[in-house]
Amino acid sequence: MNVGINDPARLGQTTLPDGRRLGWAEWGPTEGVPVLLCPGAATSRWLGFGTDAVDRLGVRLVSVDRPGLGASDPAPGRTLDDWVADVRHLAAERGLTGLGVVGMSAGTPFAMACAAAGLARAAAVVSGDELAAPAFAGTLAPEVRDLVAAVAADPDGAERMFADFGSVETLWEISVNQSAETDAAVYREPAFADALRRAMTEAFAQGPAGYARDTVLVMARWPFDPSRIAVPVDLWYGGRDTSPVHSPDLGATLASRIPTARRHVVAEAGGSLLWTHAEEILRSLLNNLARG
């Protein structure tokens, strides 16, 4: 199984105006079309996607550690607006003009914030959604509904709870051993498992605080109106995805909320389609960027 998880071609940190450092990894040609990856929960810049195709497609893939994870300095109390400001500075410093953005699972709100702010010219959501959207109140799995309610009632308390809960072993168990077999087959493939374990280990190198803050933002309402997103947005879901923290209806509601959205449901795929269908996702994003 080839799912494009080669090591980064370039690693580095960019210093932000407040002195914090933002860690990043890159694959593909430096003169390629820049595509920013907002990784999923509890992972880091080390785990790219489609890295066996980026040279052929002319994509400069950039994966960025969010504050407090991996090689990025913490920013207690950070918001999605803060993330947009960080990415705006990174894009200016690294020459990432005409940016496309991809959000995988828990990376979805971070990618959509960039799209809503007009920082990205096109976006792709993969296996993600706004879990706290009112439309999902009666359809979330009970354990997810409880997390959304906890964040709404007491975000600081929920963040402390997530910090107590968050660890490499706990998240490995959830991600790998509690996935549908379609996804578990990907996650347990030896090369992918090694890459995923390394990405998770780096994500928690500074402790669980970065993961905890991420999870609060993921389980909260988005601070922007999806209906006002003006750039093309691809929504990608696997028909065999059983994860309760991806999308309750495989993006159907989200597609109706974003006027520029185009929804793709790949019947034979699971929640891991970022890797199993990477080239298809990248080609569609490139087409949207070219039209923009």
Asked whether 85 and 195 are in contact (CB, 8 A), the reply is no
| Nearest residue to 130 (alpha-carbon basis) of 273, 229, 28, 2 | 229
Tell the residue number behind the tokens 């706004």, with chain if given.
130
The reply to whether 5 falls in a domain is no
In order, the DSSP letters of 39-63 are --TT--TT--SSTTTHHHHTEEEEE
Q: Is residue 136 part of a domain?
A: yes
Strands 33-38 and 21-27 turn out to be unpaired
Full domain range(s) for residue 146: 10-291
**Per-residue confidence of the chain (292 residues) as pLDDT tens digits?**
667 789 999 999 999 999 999 999 999 999 999 999 999 999 999 999 999 999 999 999 999 999 999 999 999 999 999 999 999 999 999 999 999 999 999 999 999 999 999 999 999 999 999 999 999 999 999 999 999 999 999 999 999 999 998 899 999 888 887 788 999 999 999 999 999 999 999 999 999 999 999 999 999 999 999 999 999 999 999 999 999 999 999 999 999 999 999 999 999 999 999 999 999 999 999 999 998 6
Domain count, the chain: 1
By the 10 Å C-beta count (0-12 exposed, 13-18 middle, 19+ buried), 267 is classed as: exposed
Any idea what the Cα angle at residue 142 is, between residues 140 and 148, rounded to 5°? 65
DSSP three-state, residue 257 = helix
pTM: 0.97
Strand partners, 266: 238
CA atoms within 13 A on the CB side of 95: 7
Question: In this structure, is residue 3 part of a structural domain?
Answer: no
CATH number at residue 159: 3.40.50.1820
Does some domain include residue 2?
A: no
